[in-house]
């Protein structure tokens, strides 16, 4: 996928290694660690540069990390090799839309930081994922939501009201030739409900600002740390998951 190929070279420096990016990813890692024990075999959708797969691999979790971008996969493979995890973590070029070519069953699955927002038919993804997972297997989906007060404030302060509420547009938003959808929590739950039960939903970037506020975050490290502490305490308390840049929906395969 060319849009993500273009992001691959700078993705880690622009997001993963930033103070805000580290805090947001740590929030997801805490939940991945809670649901995927060492020895389990999990499938990652839209793995990017492989940061999450390497994190799990270091804990003894076996990961098949997939992504539609060949260049992202190259970055992931280099990171896996540098961590000496080739026996535990595999990175394979594969779009979410093509998951049906895989053979299961897996002990779990996850997708971090909005990969599913770029999928046109989430109902099909839900059905294919159900076929690939064992009964009782967890699926953790970190998805960009439609209601983000931090984003509204940022664009309104810059005099861009149309951009402030772009996530609410019917039919999604065009980004580099890709249509990005922003499903509400209830909508995504219903999409996966035929084969999955919802067990938890939490905020990833509600009190913490989204990534376009990185420059502000770097100027206020003490405030960023305080916001991170409070967000982790309140992450599952309504309405925070509904007002977050991303929400983390935790499901269990029936």
**pTM higher than the cut 0.85:** yes
Q: Where are the alpha helices (DSSP H) in the chain?
A: 2-11, 19-35, 51-58, 70-82, 122-132, 149-157, 161-164, 185-192, 214-219, 221-234
Assigned CATH topology for domain 2-253 = Rossmann fold (3.40.50)
pLDDT tens by residue, 62-115: 999 999 999 999 999 999 999 999 999 999 999 999 999 999 999 999 999 999
Q: Which two tokens stand for residue 160?
A: 């861009």
Angstrom CA distances, 26 to 20, 52, 105, stand at: 10, 10, 27
**Residue 170, exposed/middle/buried by CB under 10 A (0-12, 13-18, 19+)?**
exposed
Residues near 106 by Cβ (< 8 Å), separated by ≥ 6?
Answer: 41, 42, 43, 64, 132, 133, 134, 137
Domains in the chain: boundaries: 2-253
Q: Provide the residue-wise pLDDT of the chain in tens; the chain has 254 residues.
A: 567 878 888 999 999 999 999 999 999 999 999 999 999 999 999 999 999 999 999 999 999 999 999 999 999 999 999 999 999 999 999 999 999 999 999 999 999 999 999 999 999 999 999 999 999 999 999 999 999 999 999 999 999 999 999 999 999 999 988 999 999 999 999 999 999 999 999 999 999 999 889 999 999 999 999 999 999 999 999 999 999 999 999 999 99
The DSSP 8-state label assigned to residue 25 in this structure reads H
């Amino acid at each position: 996928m060319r849009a993500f190929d273009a992001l691959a070279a700078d993705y880690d420096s622009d997001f993963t290694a930033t103070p805000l990016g580290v805090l947001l990813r740590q929030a997801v890692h805490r939940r991945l660690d809670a649901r995927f024990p060492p020895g389990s075999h999990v499938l990652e959708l839209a793995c990017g540069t492989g940061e999450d797969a390497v994190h799990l691999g270091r804990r003894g979790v076996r990961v098949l990390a997939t992504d539609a971008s060949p260049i992202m996969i190259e970055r992931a493979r280099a990171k896996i090799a540098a961590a000496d995890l080739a026996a535990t973590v595999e990175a394979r070029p594969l779009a979410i839309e093509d998951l049906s070519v895989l053979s299961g069953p897996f002990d779990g699955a996850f997708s971090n930081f909005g990969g599913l927002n770029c999928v046109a038919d989430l109902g099909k993804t839900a059905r294919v994922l159900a076929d690939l997972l064992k009964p009782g297997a967890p699926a953790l989906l970190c998805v960009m939501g439609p209601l983000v007060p931090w984003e509204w404030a940022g664009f309104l302060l810059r005099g861009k009201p149309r951009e402030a509420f772009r996530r609410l547009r019917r039919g999604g938003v065009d980004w580099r030739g890709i249509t990005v959808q922003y499903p509400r929590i209830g909508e995504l739950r219903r999409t996966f409900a035929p084969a999955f039960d919802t067990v938890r939903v939490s905020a990833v970037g509600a009190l913490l600002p989204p990534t376009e506020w990185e420059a502000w975050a770097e100027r206020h490290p003490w405030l960023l740390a305080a916001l991170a502490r409070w967000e982790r305490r309140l992450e599952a308390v309504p309405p925070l998951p509904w007002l977050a840049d991303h929400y983390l929906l935790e499901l269990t395969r029936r």
